[in-house]
Structure 1
Amino acid sequence: MDRYDGLARAFVGLADTLVADFDVIELAQQLVDSAVELLPVDAAGIVLSDSDGNFQALASSSEQTHLLELFQVQQGSGPCLLAHLTGEPVIVEDLRTDNDRWPDFAARAVHYGFLSVQALPMRLRTERVGALNLLRVIAGPLSTSDIAIGQALADVATIGIVHQRIAMQSDVVNQQLQTALNTRAIIEQAKGVLAERGATDVDSAFNALRAYARSSNKRLADVARAVVDGADTTAILNRD
């Protein structure tokens, strides 16, 4: 599969998540997966702003990435938050040397093995809903074309969220987004449960959870909630 085919699949996949039952969690995870698949990056994550202007780590490609997103949220600063604030890409070519703005974030990212970061705003005109964080284990910026592809992916996801706000009463959409953010906490709990029961790492646990949800045509949030509530997880953990 060449890159053009990959891009076509990514955009179709993102569009598919907007049809009928809109699922912000799945939309965000699809964006993260597409970014890692199509761009020369090693990890990706999304920070989303909720209805009150607070930030939440919504999706990530790995547990370390998720922890980095949480760290930015807890610190109230970082590349993702700045990208959301300004509506412009934030590029840190080498976290070992360009660490004046966010020394604690830079130190933690380097500890996890990441040497560069590119944060892209999720925005439509003047409206911004969050940011896409792209991490690499090597120093240096992404190419102009790679940045453009990453921004296009982020923009498609943003359009889906913003258009939902237009199509529905704003309070209903805000509740939907808030519910998605709250659901993320349930998913994190479910990952922990599956990791413990399956004696595996949390990334593998999440992949199994998501694969089962897709194969059984169930919402990821519903499957995660069932796991947390004590449902039998044999079918999730023993998938081929």
Structure 2
Amino acid sequence: MTEDRERRLIDAFLTATGTLVGDYDVVEMLQTLIDDIQELFDVDAVGIMLANQQQELEVVVSTSEASALLGVLQLEAGEGPCVESYETGRTVWVADLEDMRRRWARFAEESERAGFASVHSVPLRSREAVLGSMNLFRIEPGRLNEQDAVAARALTDVATISILQQRDADQAARTQQQLQQALDSRVAIEQAKGFLAHTHRVDLDTAFAMLRAHARSHGLLLQDVARAVTERRLDLAQPESADTRR
């Protein structure tokens, strides 16, 4: 590991562990986490699913529209590596399209169409509690190298602990409410993406990049920016060039 990459990995851990003290926004924390993972590791897209109050998975954050759609596809079909990782509480490797086709034909077809050849799904798990799954998509076939796999697992564990850290003996309902708020926030973000895509004639990835850039530059929560856009309290100017990977 290069010195620069090691420093950035340490920064990612510091950011994730910073949520262990005080209040924080779950969606913002998870989006930052997957942005860091995509930048640091040998992956091309990342997404996270969380279980709602009915224990049904929903896509909460993603680094691209393609990875988000693959998540939705699995939820509609009720199967796929991300769903299996959540249901079993175990890491699921799918190293190539051939293996995918043997296990989930439709998922393999859509993954190939999206340009992904392999996926690595990690449960958001702490002891017996499984909150969802983090899913790392790769254009190239093959598994993550061991170093990246261990680091990704560690970051996922920190995120899980961050979500659960406020739970005590009588706080299970509060934790579920917090997760539901995260899912509700995602709805607001998706609405804002659609609004910007329509009004600015850009794709959804570019629309998300506009929201994210404004939130970061002004120190605002992503969900607050999204609601301001859809309520027409904020007019975002289209950047000359948007990084659609973030």
Sort the TM-score into its range (normalised by shorter chain).
Answer: over 0.9
Q: Deviation of residue 170 (structure 1)?
A: 2.3
* Aligned AA (1:233): D
Shift of 1:201: 1.8
Alpha-carbon distance between aligned partners in 2 of 1:26 and 1:201, rounded to the nearest angstrom: 22
Tell me, yes or no, if structure 1 residue 71 matches structure 2 residue 46.
Answer: no
TM-score (ref. length: structure 2): 0.90
Displacement after TM superposition at 1:173 (Å):
2.3
Paired position in structure 2 for 1:104: 106
The answer for the alignment partner of 1:144 in structure 2 is 146
Query: 2:224: which partner in 1?
Result: 222
User: Quick one: which amino acid aligns to residue 78 of structure 1?
Assistant: G
Q: 1:33 maps to which residue?
A: 35
Judge conservation of contact 1:208–1:239 (CA < 8 Å) in 2: no
CA distance, structure 1, for counterparts of residue 8 and residue 170 of structure 2: 32
Q: 13-22 vs 221-230, which deviates more?
A: 13-22
Q: Bigger shift: 60-69 or 43-52?
A: 43-52
Counterpart contact for 2:164–2:175, Cα < 8 Å: no
Which runs of structure 2 are paired with 1:170-209 in the superposition (5 Å)?
170-209=172-211
Q: Which protein has greater RCO, CA pairs closer than 8 Å, 6+ apart?
A: 2
Question: Is 1:81 paired with 2:83?
Answer: yes
* Cα distance in 1 between the residues matched to 2:231 and 2:20: 28
Question: Could you tell me which amino acid in structure 2 is paired with residue 237 of structure 1?
Answer: Q
Q: Is the 8 A contact 1:96 1:115 kept in 2?
A: no
Match of 1:94 in 2: 96
Instruction: Note the C-alpha offset of 1:72.
Output: 1.1
- Alignment gaps of 5+ in structure 1: none
SS for the counterpart of 2:98 is: coil
TM-score relative to the length of structure 1 = 0.93
- In the TM superposition, residue 167 of structure 1 has moved relative to its aligned partner by 8.5
Superposed CA RMSD in Å reads: 1.9
2:60 maps to 1:58: yes
Sort the Cα spacing of 1:51 and 1:165 in 2 relative to 1 into closer, same or farther, 3 A. Answer: farther
Given that residues 100 and 107 in structure 2 are in contact (C-alpha distance below 8 angstroms), is that contact kept between their aligned partners in structure 1? Answer: no
State the SS of the aligned residue for 2:153: helix
Could you list the runs of 4 or more consecutive aligned residues of structure 1 that deviate by over 4 angstroms after TM superposition?
none
Alignment match of 1:166 (pick from 168, 184, 192)? 168
Cα separation, 2, equivalents of 1:32 and 1:188: 17
- Single out whichever of 138-147 and 15-24 deviates more from structure 2: 15-24
- Counterpart of 1:211 in structure 2 is 213
Report the 3-state secondary structure (helix = DSSP H, G, I; strand = E; otherwise coil) of the residue aligned with 1:166: coil
> Over residues 104-127 of structure 1, what are the superposed CA-to-partner deviations in whole Å (9 max), with x where a residue is unaligned?
111100110000011011111221
Contact kept? 1:194, 1:237, Cα under 8 Å: no
> Residue 21 of structure 1 aligns to a residue in which SS?
coil
The separation in 2 between residues aligned to 1:14 and 1:239, in whole angstroms, is: 31
**CA distance, structure 2, for counterparts of residue 225 and residue 96 of structure 1:** 42
Aligned to 1:130: 132
Whole-angstrom CA distance in 1 between matches of 2:111 and 2:239: 33
Contact 1:17 1:26 in 2 (8 A): no
8 Å CA contact retained: 1:96, 1:110? no
| Matched pairs, number | 239
SS at match of 1:164: coil
Matching residue of 2:244: none
Percent of residue pairs bearing the same amino acid type: 42
Q: How does 1:13-24 map to 2 (within 5 A)?
A: 13-24=15-26
